[in-house]
Amino acid sequence: MNPRLLLCLCLTPLLVACAKEPAGYEIDGGNHSLTVERNKPYFWSEGWELDLIVTRYPECQRRYPLKKAGEKVRVDLYRTPGGAYILNQGKRWYVAETQTCRMQQYEEAPPEPGELLGSFRVKNGTFAFVPEAGVRDQESGIR
């Protein structure tokens, strides 16, 4: 057997175990969104590295690291009356705003996070944004 072919066959399982999966919440179309991306860079990696990508094209786009998560990833998304977005990842709380694509971690849980829009999580084997049942999206009118 060809040594190069054998090497390729041996290395293929290492690459297959790597994964990068984005899940997005669109705000007023695809140019304005919040995306949580989960990344498993190596097959031996435990849990998932998470990033929040805040986008408002063409003005800004920024990527922020979130706390590393275990195998079960869940990040809840809330909208405040003022238009900011609150994200909850276990005991951690973050606030994101899309006018200048900023994000900051709260020191402690906010007293009133706002309306629950849904969560970034695995559904039917795919990492996705799953809307909360019965919530109407004010920007797009989607229910």
Give every CB contact of residue 56 below 8 A, 6+ residues apart in sequence. Answer: 31, 32, 98, 99, 101
Q: What gap in Å lies between CA 109 and CA 1, rounded to an integer?
A: 60
Is there a domain that residue 3 lies in?
Answer: no
Q: Count of CB atoms within 10 A of residue 127's CB?
A: 19
Is the pTM here over 0.85, yes or no? no
**Residue ranges in the chain modelled with pLDDT below 70:** 1-17, 135-143
b or e along 72-104 (b: 16 or more beta carbons within 10 Å of the residue's beta carbon)? ebebbbbbeeeeebbbbbeeebbbbbbeebebe
Is there a domain that residue 6 lies in?
Answer: no
Report the pLDDT value the prediction gives residue 1, as an integer from 0 to 100. 65
Is there a domain that residue 70 lies in?
Answer: yes
Q: Residue 30 has what DSSP assignment? A: T
Is there a domain that residue 142 lies in?
Answer: no
Condensed to tens digits (0 to 9), the pLDDT of residues 102-133 reads 999 999 899 899 999 999 999 999 999 999 98
Q: Count of CB atoms within 10 A of residue 58's CB?
A: 6
Is there a domain that residue 63 lies in?
Answer: yes
Report the pLDDT value the prediction gives residue 14, as an integer from 0 to 100. 47
Is there a domain that residue 143 lies in?
Answer: no
Is there a domain that residue 10 lies in?
Answer: no
Report the pLDDT value the prediction gives residue 71, as an integer from 0 to 100. 86
Instruction: Count up the domains in the chain and report the number.
Output: 1
Q: Which of 55, 48, 59, 32 is closest to 103 using CA atoms?
A: 55
Report the pLDDT value the prediction gives residue 3, as an integer from 0 to 100. 60
Please report, in angstroms and rounded to a whole number, the separation of the first and last CA atoms in the chain: 58
Is there a domain that residue 51 lies in?
Answer: yes
Question: What domain range includes position 111?
Answer: 16-130
Report the pLDDT value the prediction gives residue 28, as an integer from 0 to 100. 86
